[in-house]
Amino acid sequence: MSDHFVRRDGALHAEDVAVADIAQRFGTPCYVYSRATLERHYRAFDQALAGVPHQVCYAVKANSNLAVLQVLAKLGSGFDIVSAGELRRVLMAGGDAARVVFSGVGKTAEELRFALEQGVGIFNVESESELRRLDAIARQLHTRAAIALRVNPDVDAKTHPYISTGLKQNKFGVDLVTAERLYLEATHLPGIQISGIASHIGSQLLDVSPYLDALDRVLALVDRLAAKGIEFEHIDVGGGLGVRYRDEQPTEPEDWARAFLPKLAGRNLKVMTEPGRAIAGNAGILVMRVELIKHGETRHFAVVDAAMNDLLRPSLYQAWMDIVPVQDNTAAKPATYDVVGPVCETGDWLGKDRELAITEGDLLAVRTAGAYGFVMASNYNSRGRAAEVMVDGDHAHLVRARETFEDLVRGERVLP
């Protein structure tokens, strides 16, 4: 899906705002998001499923900035959350608890209670212990929790091992045999109301075949349970559709929906989906400045003011992310650079072997940094986290101030 970051006369723009102006105003490093891109991607999912009852639940963990959640909430998006903190963000941003799906393998009793009190729509339960815990808490609160079991269909999503979740050796979900037993048990739990069945097999999936394999296995279970009198209102097909970082050709939401919807024909199931990366990924960039250029014996280094603490994907997954100049520098001689941060780790790099024409002081942008970017940032090396800016047409809004030193040491104490 295309985005609204475009070059005009050699200058990168976010919608109608020059990125260099944003850097000037808010400093670097700085994440810049495009409202129009977020909206386009949400609508792509919404329209792909328009022919059936459905609910798109944006996966908050991909980018949980309040303004991002607000933009999506205004479009009627639901939200997939994995913690009470994410629920509080959704509520603060104007999201509707009834359209929230609560996922995650380790929900605490406090989190479950809070979510029930707030009226969370669906709990995607990932273990027998969680099912019993949720039942007990719902009964204490004189309510019933609407659930789906997250089943693990044991299919290989053929993605990076750290973001593959649907294999039986992964910690997520319950296997199909256990799921069958737990659904039957759940019918006797007064605090539990069975609503649906869920699976999510991994992230950055480029192809629909793992979805189709997973769906076949899930639907076979749906049929076995139907024979035992258990009927579902919804099916949650998870998230995970990939984005283009380099030359990948991810399936578009429309083609993804066209591929799997026929399998659901005649079943009367509301379709839920939890896209994160596909909505937020190319709706954001990370803007950084070249602090200094260093010529080693065998390599050239562009040392920038962003680092692995700002954007972990290259270090964590050896992810290739595109790095482009914010403004063409016609005076500079092109050379091959390793783009590295100032953090004291050899793994602190954002890109290797990049052909760039730059001089010290130039601005660079990492493309497709809107998902799993800022949310994975840390304060390693006592670095404050970057500012976040949302562009809306010809306006740039600061949606998170850069962290100050005072922010960093808040809560710390020296001994008396």
Ligand X SMILES: *Cc1c(COP(=O)(O)O)cnc(C)c1O
Enumerate the active-site residues.
Answer: 344
Q: Is 103 in the site for ligand X (CB under 6 A)?
A: yes
Q: Does 111 bind ligand X (CB under 6 A)?
A: no
Amino acid, res. 331: A
Peptide bond just before 29 cis, omega within 30 deg = yes
The answer to whether residue 210 forms part of the interface with ligand X (CB under 6 A) is no
DSSP 161: G
The CB-of-326 to ligand X minimum distance in angstroms stands at: 27
Binding status of residue 370 toward ligand X by CB under 6 A: no
- Strand arrangement, sheet containing 17-18: 5-8, 11-14, 17-18
Name the β-bridge partners of 270: 234
- Per DSSP bridges, beta strands 234-236 and 192-198 are parallel
Choice from 196, 250, 253, 275 touching ligand X (CB under 6 A): 275
The CB-of-101 to ligand X minimum distance in angstroms stands at: 8
Q: Give yes or no for residue 130 binding ligand X (CB under 6 A).
A: no
- The distance of closest approach from Cβ of residue 162 to ligand X in the complex, given in angstroms and rounded to an integer, is 12
What gap in Å lies between CA 282 and CA 297, rounded to an integer?
A: 36
Our finding on whether 365 is near ligand X (CB under 6 A) is no
Number of residues that bind ligand X (CB under 6 A): 16
Based on the shown chain and the rule CB under 6 A, indicate whether residue 203 belongs to the binding site for ligand X.
yes
Binding of ligand X by 276 (CB under 6 A):
yes
Using the minimum distance from each CB to ligand X, give the nearer residue, 280 or 293.
280
Of 203 and 368, nearer to ligand X (C-beta) is: 203
Give yes or no for a contact between 160 and 245, defined as CB atoms under 8 angstroms apart. Answer: no
Please state at what angle helix 176-186 crosses helix 128-140, rounded to 10 degrees: 20
3-state secondary structure of 205: strand
By the 10 Å C-beta count (0-12 exposed, 13-18 middle, 19+ buried), 411 is classed as exposed
The one segment of 65-73, 223-231, 276-284, 292-300 that binds ligand X by CB under 6 A: 276-284
Q: What minimum distance in Å lies between the beta carbon of 241 and ligand X?
A: 6
CB 72 within 8 A of CB 99: no
* Binding to ligand X, residues 157-176 (CB under 6 A): none
Closest to ligand X by CB, 83 vs 329, is: 83
78 binds ligand X, rule: CB under 6 A: no
Of 160 and 352, which CB lies nearer to ligand X in the complex structure? 160
Rounded Cα distance between 212 and 262, Å, is 11
121 binds ligand X (CB under 6 A): no
Among 15, 39, 274, 310, contact with ligand X (rule: CB under 6 A):
274
- The total of other beta-carbon atoms located within 10 Å of residue 219's CB is 16
Q: Does 354 bind ligand X (CB under 6 A)?
A: no
State yes or no: residue 385 binds ligand X (CB under 6 A). Answer: no
Degrees to nearest 5, angle at CA 387 with 381 and 390: 150
The amino acid at residue 251 is T
Nearer to ligand X, 238 or 373 (CB): 238
**Residues 219-238 within binding reach of ligand X (CB under 6 A):** 238
β-pair partners for 164 = 202
Query: Kindly report the CA angle at 258 between 279 and 166, in degrees rounded to 5?
Result: 60
Closer residue to ligand X (CB): 111 or 274: 274
Binder to ligand X among 41, 54, 61, 234 (CB under 6 A)? 61
Length of the chain equals 416
| CA gap 403, 387 in Å, rounded | 7
277 binds ligand X (CB under 6 A): yes
Helix (H) or strand (E) holding 102, with range, is: strand 100-102
Choose, by CB under 6 A, the member of 1, 22, 38, 59 that binds ligand X.
59
Task: For residue 80, state whether it binds ligand X (rule: CB under 6 A).
Answer: yes
C-alpha R_g of the chain: 23
φ, ψ (nearest 5 deg) of residue 159? -125, -175
Confirm or reject binding of residue 86 to ligand X (CB under 6 A).
no
The answer to whether residue 383 forms part of the interface with ligand X (CB under 6 A) is no
Compute the distance between CA of residue 380 and CA of residue 378 in angstroms, rounded to an integer: 6
Question: Which of 64/203 has CB closer to ligand X?
Answer: 203
- Closer residue to ligand X in complex, CB, 121/275: 275
Tell me the window of 10-18, 40-48, 262-270, 274-282 that interacts with ligand X (CB under 6 A). 274-282
- Is residue 148 close enough to count as binding ligand X by CB under 6 A? no
The contact set with ligand X (CB under 6 A) reads 59, 61-62, 80, 103, 200, 203, 238-240, 274-278, 371
